[in-house]
């Protein structure tokens, strides 16, 4: 059996809990926050993913399937991404008020989790 489908995003060599005093920065994959366009290490951003059914959620592990957009774990960037439409554009979906509220909650939770696990 040969696998022809290559996944460029799913890298399995991501250690879940490795403590490094000085992380080697150069090899980290970079992503850009869709709101403020700042490029950061992928792990510093949160991924918002649109599932195949059209549901948006914050993908903490960065591995959910679907179309994803990266944001800083910062409410200001979420607000900006919502207000300027960058998030909707990146995900190719209209974001209604209910969904926006849910993303606010999920992003805040993700940001908190990031801080406590850092």
Looking only at residues 29 through 58 of this chain, which bind Zn ion when binding is defined by CB under 5 A?
33, 35-36
Looking only at residues 77 through 106 of this chain, which bind Zn ion when binding is defined by CB under 5 A?
77
54 secondary structure, DSSP code: S
Q: Give which of 55, 68, 60 is closest to 98, Cα–Cα.
A: 55
Q: Cα 39 to chain center, whole Å?
A: 12
- Beta pairing, strands 39-41 & 30-32: antiparallel
Closer to Zn ion by CB, 54 or 75: give it. 75
Smallest distance, Å, CB 23 to Zn ion? 21
Is residue 111 part of the contact set for Zn ion (CB under 5 A)? no
Looking only at residues 9 through 28 of this chain, which bind Zn ion when binding is defined by CB under 5 A?
none
Interface stretch with Zn ion, choices 24-32, 42-50, 68-76, 106-114 (CB under 5 A): 68-76
* Cα separation, 83 vs 70, whole angstroms: 16
Closer to Zn ion by CB, 10 or 112: give it. 112
* Cα separation, 94 vs 109, whole angstroms: 23
Residues that bind Zn ion (CB under 5 A): 33, 35-36, 72, 77
């Amino acid at each position: 059996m040969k696998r022809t489908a290559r996944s460029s995003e799913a890298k399995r060599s991501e250690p879940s809990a490795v403590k490094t005093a000085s992380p080697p920065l150069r090899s980290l994959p970079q992503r850009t926050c869709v709101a403020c366009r700042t490029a950061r290490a992928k792990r510093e951003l949160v991924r918002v993913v649109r599932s195949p059914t059209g549901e948006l959620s914050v993908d903490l592990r960065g591995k959910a399937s679907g179309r994803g957009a990266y944001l800083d774990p910062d409410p200001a960037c979420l607000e900006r991404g919502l207000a300027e439409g960058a998030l909707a554009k990146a995900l190719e979906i209209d974001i209604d008020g209910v969904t926006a509220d849910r993303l606010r909650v999920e992003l805040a939770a993700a940001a908190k989790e990031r801080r406590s696990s850092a």
